[in-house]
Structure 1
Amino acid sequence: MLHTIIKRNSYQDSVNLMLLTNYISALEGVMQASIMMGTPANKDIMCNSGLYTDELEPAGANDMCIVIDTETHSGLDDILVAVDSFLSDQSVNSSQSSTESVRSWERALKENPHANLAIISVPGQYAAAEADKALDYGLHAFIFSDNVPVEEELSLKRKAHDKGLLVMGPDCGTGVISGVPLAFANRVKAGNIGIVGASGTGIQEVTTLIDRMGGGISHAIGTGGRDLSEGVGAITMLDSIRGLAHNEQTEVIVIISKPPSETVREKVVSQLQGLPKPVVTLFLGEKPSGHEGNVYEAYTLEEAAMIAIDLAKGAAVQPLYSMPIDVPKTALNPGQTSIQGLYAGGTLAAEAAMLIADALQLKDGLIHEAGYVLRSNGHVIVDLGDDMYTQGKPHPMIDPATRIQHIEKAAQDPATAVILFDVVLGYGGHDDVAGVLAPAIEKAAAKAKTEGRNLYFVAALCGTHQDPQSYAEQKRKLEQAGVVVKESNNQAVRTVLAMMQLVLEDVPKTHRPAAKTVPEMFSASAAIEALLAGKPSVINVGLRKFTESITASGAPAIQYDWRPIAGGSVKMQHILNQLKDYRFTS
């Protein structure tokens, strides 16, 4: 029985609503629940999930839509009380925050006149317009929002390039500027290694490994996953490389990306070979055989970090980076033949799939279908951060509920031998993900035991000892639950491969001079050099929790509590923006 409640003019950000949905869904008597703002896209999601009702039709983008599927009418009043209580707690937390908030761009710029960076985390259909405003105000834009059309991304990045600004994203999960964490990022020590990466967890893995190996980060610039596509042409990556090349704090540059098109790759590598600084490249999915000139090619995220550390110390780069793996003894039934990888981080999932595909000598390698990045010979790697798993739900790094469901399902399969997963710490993520996952892991292992099977769990723990979650405590909780914990994704995957009697061969790399002459160097823009010269001054447009990590790092930030204008109509907003531009230029 579906019940619909519309709360007029009660805008909440998407993370709060997703957490509220999970909270209400767990209440007794609730079979299913969906709580979203009344945008057309959200109504489509409700329709596809079987939770659409006619009462939703007049709801607008500023109206909170609550649809609850219950067995009876009884208990509905208690559920609504729980909704109001949750929202009241969020309101109290916001009012107690020391962060100043505003409700317009004009006010934000008045309160923070020296702002040079805007973080955009509004719903995807509105993100490009807000980023465009940021560029007009002379701010670099960090677009956390996803579901932005590639045509709008290209337009924004071309405009930013012409203005000497950076557009990081869309779908940019991670950044670190002068020690200030942006979005999902870790607290890392300062140092001389600068990173440009297309991904979120790829940057997190490399920066945290460098930190724990004793090195430090100058900057980590995210570009978004499509930047190195043929259609976008690496606009942000190339401008970021120029910025790091002229940044005094940066002595070594690391590039992280899935394989780009051949023409884009050639353009990027050509610029790298013209730099006066050494560079480490990781094009995930490629297995390089050697280094060329000042460009050192890595196979895994861990190898990229290890090469960068040696270069930062002035040490020689080794032909082979490998380490002994402590492999636990296993006792598996003959039918237990599969690895089940349940990842929150997309790049970590892709790296795991790459290594397993290499060990299996698969010709096809990685796939991208229905949330899977590998599905072969019974082995599965799932990216639980994929859009198909996060529509209307929190990202698994924020809320582990989806991953727990997949752990339960994988554990029931008698073919499952090992469940492989990542635990990513840092700002933006869950406060105690190990503490939430541990009971589910213990329960799954115990149930398998009663069925005559030993079920093994191996985790890659990504984080630093400075992160808001305690690295040591998270590791202890996982190990107490019987999990084999490794300090890199590479080590975790290789451990699982060894447990399954699979071999992954590494080949020593050669080093040859650069084949091409050094191209003409381009200078970085004054605005990019200024951004990298010190802590950013931020206007945070959207998710409030991103502001908290910025101010905790000593950087100035204003919280812009964004709301859709014009009833949420993108077309009407476009018209209003054109009228505003006309007024300013007339």
Structure 2
Amino acid sequence: MVHAFIKKGSFQDSVSLMLISRKLSESPNVSEISVMMGTPANKSLLEATGFWHSSFDEATPNDICVAIKTESEDSAIVDEIVIALEGSLKEIAQGQQQKGKKLQRARSWRMAKSKLPDANIALISIAGEFAAELANQALDDGCNVMMFSDNVTPEDERNLKIKASKLGLIVMGPDCGTAYLAGAPLAFSNVAPQGNIGIIGASGTGIQELISQITLAGQGITHAIGLGGRDLTAEIGGISAMTAIDLLATDSNSDVIAFVSKPPAKEIRANVIEKLRAQGKPVVALFLGTTPEVRQDGNLYFTETLDETARIAAMLGRVQAAAKIQPQGRGKKIAGLYAGGTLAAECAMLLATKLGLQTDAAHYQGMMLNEGGHKIIDLGDDFYTQGKPHPMIDPSTRNQQIASLAQKTEIGVLLLDVVIGYGAQIDSAQTLAKEIISLKEKRPTNAPIAVIATVTGTEQDPQVRSAQITYLEEAGIAVMNSLPEAVTLACAVISPSIPAFPQQEHQILQSVSVINAGVRSFADDLQANEIPVVHYQWAPIAGGNQKLANILKKLK
């Protein structure tokens, strides 16, 4: 049976009450306990889950409803739970006092704004039926909005997002669980190293998994912008997605964009893709539940899984970081001089795919690609090794080819491999580095050349992989982790992308100040990360009585 009681006028956030429910459910002689505020949505939930009691008819949104499922008919259990509830509420209050010695608090939105006049984000996690009104107030005061709250109507969501767009603001959510802006962890967020990858997601855990996998791949992020699960539906129209793309397009620190969403409406997906294409930066896009017809289309990379999305984003992040410090060679040609035949073949294939060329089927004199002025040569071909050692042993043939590039100013990028291990030249990187330094010195000052290399081998090899990389990098050679990275960087050097938008960064990508309404722990997390925050101790006006609340508004 269900025993119940109401604790009048004691508003608490939903997370605290969930924790209390779990703790009280461990009490002896109790099957399960539900503790909720008496909002209309919560009352419906209590009824749907079998916790309803007739006394809850009298509860207001400011009252705590406690439902106790037990096999016992003894009402004494209620007295025990009343005492236990009071103890739990006292523990929460004491814990907040200890954690929040410096946390500013306010009892009204106006007071919160006066305490933090530079606030530019309202983080809202109050009951859904009240969230839209507070979001409207925040937008009116020039604040962007992140709505952790759910149970907000689609109509309210669309209206809020249209309003925000007209004001040059963004509404993330409702039901947005994750965001990370200018170092501020909002709601459920992760600590990530600073990098050059910006994330947009209509998927909270999708964003978190991308952050996790990008970090594991040795890269970092700039910002993560949540949209809410309904943003890409036909009903909402992707309004916040479009704003988020504009934000990252104008962010000079975000060189790569990773976009993830649950299955979107077909027409909204098309609009988002067009917007992502137009902004010019490399984009890795994952539309869950769809199989890409093409894997790459210009600056867009399409993926099927979060793991694949993170790996490609991390690769592009490394490439874009390297491209910034390479001499730019717009319209120049790419040459590749390889000691490894298979490496030359793969490099030719990758380059041909990216530039729309054809590989050389005849392989005459080791030529793997010879089209449009671009050449990839396998110097291990029989033509070069007749009466001579393989270039992995004797680099003289390649050194001659490198030296010949001194006056070939049409070549803007040189691709190379360094293959180490037993049998290979013991000082391969040092020898190559000297040749590259000499080449750069002989090139005309108005025709610099970008040199990109990969190293095939391990740390346990006699030459030691990391030592070889150091020699190369000290000579100004960009060392990439793989051939796809090297070829992508080469293409970026000869055809650098130019963002279609001016670099005028939005305020929330530079610094964040937050008014937090709802879950107290969100404010504590921001405080711990030294983000300016005021905790608005929100409670329904007039105890949730809408008629009385409207009268009070008119009196103001």
Give a deviation string over 1:42-96, Cα, whole Å, max 9, x none: 2222223333223222221111122223313355433322211111100101122
Distance 1:573 1:229, change over 3 A: farther
Q: Which runs of 5+ in 2 are unaligned?
A: 324-345, 351-487, 492-496
Partner SS state of residue 58, structure 2: coil
Separation in 2, partners of 1:576, 1:185: 37
Separation in 2, partners of 1:16, 1:137: 29
Residue in 1 that maps onto 2:289: 285
Residue in 2 that maps onto 1:95: 97
* 8 A contact 1:271–1:519 mirrored in 2: no
* 8 A contact 2:206–2:260 mirrored in 1: yes
Find out whether 1:533 has 2:537 as its counterpart.
no
Deviation at 1:287, TM superposition (A): 1.9
Aligned positions of 1:515-554 closer than 5 A: 521=500, 529-534=506-511, 536-554=512-530
Deviation at 1:223, TM superposition (A): 0.4
Residue in 2 that maps onto 1:314: 319
Distance 1:209 1:78, change over 3 A: same
Residue in 1 that maps onto 2:474: none
Residue in 2 that maps onto 1:231: 235
Separation in 1, partners of 2:499, 2:258: 21
Aligned positions of 1:66-465 closer than 5 A: 66-70=66-70, 71=72, 72-96=74-98, 97-98=100-101, 99-288=103-292, 289-314=294-319
**Matched residues, number:** 383
The one-letter amino acid paired with 1:193 is I
Find out whether 1:558 has 2:534 as its counterpart.
yes
2:544 to 546, 558, 568: 568
The one-letter amino acid paired with 2:23 is Y
Partner SS state of residue 17, structure 1: helix
**Structure 1, 557-566 or 269-278: larger mean CA deviation:** 269-278
TM-score, normalised by the number of residues in structure 2 = 0.65
Aligned positions of 1:37-48 closer than 5 A: 37-48=37-48
Q: Which runs of 5+ in 1 are unaligned?
A: 321-510
Separation in 2, partners of 1:226, 1:159: 17
Deviation at 1:573, TM superposition (A): 4.1
The one-letter amino acid paired with 2:85 is V
Separation in 1, partners of 2:499, 2:282: 17
Partner SS state of residue 219, structure 1: strand
* 8 A contact 2:279–2:499 mirrored in 1: no
Separation in 1, partners of 2:551, 2:303: 48
Partner SS state of residue 57, structure 1: helix
Separation in 2, partners of 1:161, 1:537: 20
Separation in 2, partners of 1:235, 1:75: 51
Partner SS state of residue 278, structure 2: coil
Separation in 1, partners of 2:258, 2:21: 39
Distance 1:245 1:554, change over 3 A: same
Distance 1:56 1:552, change over 3 A: same
Deviation at 1:31, TM superposition (A): 2.3
Partner SS state of residue 314, structure 1: helix
Identical amino acids, percent of aligned pairs: 43
Residue in 2 that maps onto 1:2: 2
Separation in 2, partners of 1:265, 1:523: 25
* 8 A contact 1:247–1:533 mirrored in 2: no
Separation in 1, partners of 2:199, 2:4: 48
Distance 1:523 1:88, change over 3 A: same
Separation in 1, partners of 2:161, 2:552: 23
The one-letter amino acid paired with 1:90 is I
Partner SS state of residue 304, structure 2: coil
Give a deviation string over 1:233-261, Cα, whole Å, max 9, x none: 11111111111111111110111112322
* 8 A contact 2:280–2:499 mirrored in 1: no
Name which one, 1 or 2, has greater alpha-carbon Rg: 2
Deviation at 1:576, TM superposition (A): 5.1
Separation in 2, partners of 1:56, 1:262: 44
* 8 A contact 1:4–1:67 mirrored in 2: yes
The one-letter amino acid paired with 1:17 is L
Distance 1:523 1:225, change over 3 A: farther
* 8 A contact 2:279–2:501 mirrored in 1: no
Root mean square deviation of aligned Cα = 2.7
Separation in 1, partners of 2:133, 2:79: 40
TM-score, normalised by the number of residues in structure 1 = 0.62
